[in-house]
Amino acid sequence: MALPFLFVLNGVWVMSEIDALKGELEVLQEKALASFLKAADLTALQTLRVAYLGKKGELTSVLKGVGKLAPADRPVIGQFVNATKAALAEALDAAEVLLAVKEKQQRIEAERLDVTLPGRSATRGVLHPVQQGLNEMTAIFAQMGFAIAEGPEIEDEFHNFDALNIPQEHPARAMHDTFFFESSGEQQAKLLRTHTSPVQIRTMQACIASGGKPPLAVVAPGRVYRCDYDVTHSPMFHQVEVFKVDKDVSLAHLKGVLQHFLSAYFEKEVSIRLRPHYFPFTEPSAEVDIGCVFCAGKGCRICKGSGWVEVLGSGMIHPNVLKSVGIDSEIYSGFAFGLGVERLVMLKHGIPDLRLFFENDVRFLRRMGANT
């Protein structure tokens, strides 16, 4: 700090007003610069800027003293004030740049990511085993040239029963444990389809209605419903319906397709046998058994010691069914079968209880997901 100019007045050393002001400004500047260096962050620095350079700041209050000076001295001190102001502003700007860099570095440090840490793996979902089974089965038939079709789950009596040669009062209707919707009386009763066979009717009807004619080879996967619930029955389950209509289709074709499909699905050569049975919509009808995949026919708990397990219902499409959709049964014949998807999946993967499919225990679902 420059020594203030002193002079003697009445025997006492007195500091001139102008020197006193200059001194004040120098002290202020030194104090200010020191405080800028200590500012912890940009907000603190902004507070200091206001404290020194603001309207009510320290520099302004020093300026007020200028009024007391002799007019000739004012420009001198004015210059000094401006120089102080400029010095403070410059120091503030420099400190601001430094702090900004420092804050950015701190932020980068705080947000640092260790890219070498192993990622958190998200659990991958798997298709439900029943859906996997449906996909596998449908794909095998698609490879054999069958077209995929679907029908509604809410059906009418015509497609679910009448057209399939199950007239009113036929005992087979009672055997189907049907869920009916409350009917308004006028329309045909609506129901939840009890099997996928109505898709036979719908696809054949659609073919004829659009001016087409057989050959028709169709696979129809889907949900079916029966009012039945115990260890081996669920009120909703899945079927895959397969049928072919053409000239000269015979039981041998049916057996050939079944043999190929079942071996492809179980991924090994399985033996099959057709047992005479009764279905209203097929004649002749047969239930199909496969040689037990667990004991290779020796006899076990699954096949109840017989060496055979029943897997599906089949037969040659009844002439009445072809007639109901306007296909001439003198020219055309066909085979059809319908299989229970859950049952086949259980046999393939050794699943002991049907209810596992519907409990959605993730441990079961995950294990099944790993299987395919």
> Which residue in 141, 225, 265, 337 binds ligand PHE (CB under 6 A)?
337
Complex with ligand PHE: residue 207 or 339, whichever CB lies closer: 339
Q: Given the DSSP bridges, would you call strands 147-148 and 216-225 parallel, antiparallel or unpaired? A: parallel
Q: How far is the CB of 129 from ligand PHE (least distance, A)?
A: 21
Residue with tokens 């050939």: 256
Task: Examine residue 314 and tell whether it contacts ligand PHE (CB under 6 A).
Answer: yes
* Cα 51 from Cα 42, distance rounded (Å): 14
Q: How far is the CB of 245 from ligand PHE (least distance, A)?
A: 13
Strands (E), the chain: 6-9, 12-15, 147-148, 154-156, 190-192, 216-225, 236-246, 272-279, 282-291, 308-317, 333-340
**Measured at CB, which residue is nearest to ligand PHE?**
338
Per CB under 6 A, which region of 49-57, 154-162, 334-342, 348-356 contacts ligand PHE? 334-342
For 161, 175, 231, 310, 333, the CA distances from 194, given in Å and listed in that order, are 9, 10, 19, 19, 24
Bond from prior residue into 215 cis (ω within 30 degrees of 0): yes
> Using CB under 6 A, which of 57, 291, 315, 334 touches ligand PHE?
315
How open is the CA angle 346-348-351, to the nearest 5 degrees?
Answer: 35
36 versus 335: smaller Cβ distance to ligand PHE: 335
The C-alpha angle 355, 232, 275, rounded to 5 degrees, equals 140
Stretch that binds ligand PHE, among 25-33, 53-61, 77-85, 331-339 (CB under 6 A): 331-339
Per-position x/- string for 227-266, each x denoting binding to ligand PHE as judged by CB under 6 A, each - no binding: ----------------------------------------
**Residue range at the interface with ligand PHE (CB under 6 A); choices 76-84, 147-155, 257-265, 336-344:** 336-344
- The answer to whether the CB of 239 falls within 8 A of the CB of 343 is no
Minimum CB separation from ligand PHE for residue 362, in Å? 31
Q: Rounded to whole angstroms, what are the CA distances from 320 to 24, 145, 214, 317? A: 117, 26, 16, 8
Q: What does the alpha-carbon distance between residue 241 and residue 224 come to, in Å, rounded to a whole number?
A: 11
Q: Given candidates 198, 221, 291, 338, which one binds ligand PHE under the rule CB under 6 A?
A: 338
- Interacting span for ligand PHE (CB under 6 A) from 13-21, 38-46, 335-343, 362-370: 335-343
**Which is nearest to 1 in space by CA: 31, 23, 19?**
23
Per DSSP, the residues of 46-112 read: HHHHHHHHSTTSHHHHHHHGGGGS-TTTHHHHHHHHHHHHHHHHHHHHHHHHHHHHHHHHHHHHHT-
Give me the least distance between CB of 360 and ligand PHE, in Å please. Answer: 25
Can residue 29 be called a binding residue for ligand PHE (CB under 6 A)?
no
Establish if 345 lies at the interface with ligand PHE (CB under 6 A). no
CB of 343 to ligand PHE, least distance (A): 11
Asked if 336 interacts with ligand PHE (CB under 6 A), we say yes
* CA distance to 79, 221, 240, 319, 337, per residue, from 251 (Å): 116, 22, 19, 15, 11
x/- mask, ligand PHE, residues 189-208, rule CB under 6 A, reads: ------x-x-----------
Cβ atoms of 323 and 329 closer than 8 Å: yes
Q: Does 173 bind ligand PHE (CB under 6 A)?
A: no
Question: In the set 129, 151, 198, 313, which binds ligand PHE (CB under 6 A)?
Answer: 313
Q: Which stretch binds ligand PHE (CB under 6 A): 181-189, 230-238, 299-307, 332-340?
A: 332-340
For ligand PHE, the closer CB: 57 or 313:
313
**Interface residue list for ligand PHE (CB under 6 A):** 195, 197, 279, 282, 313-315, 336-338
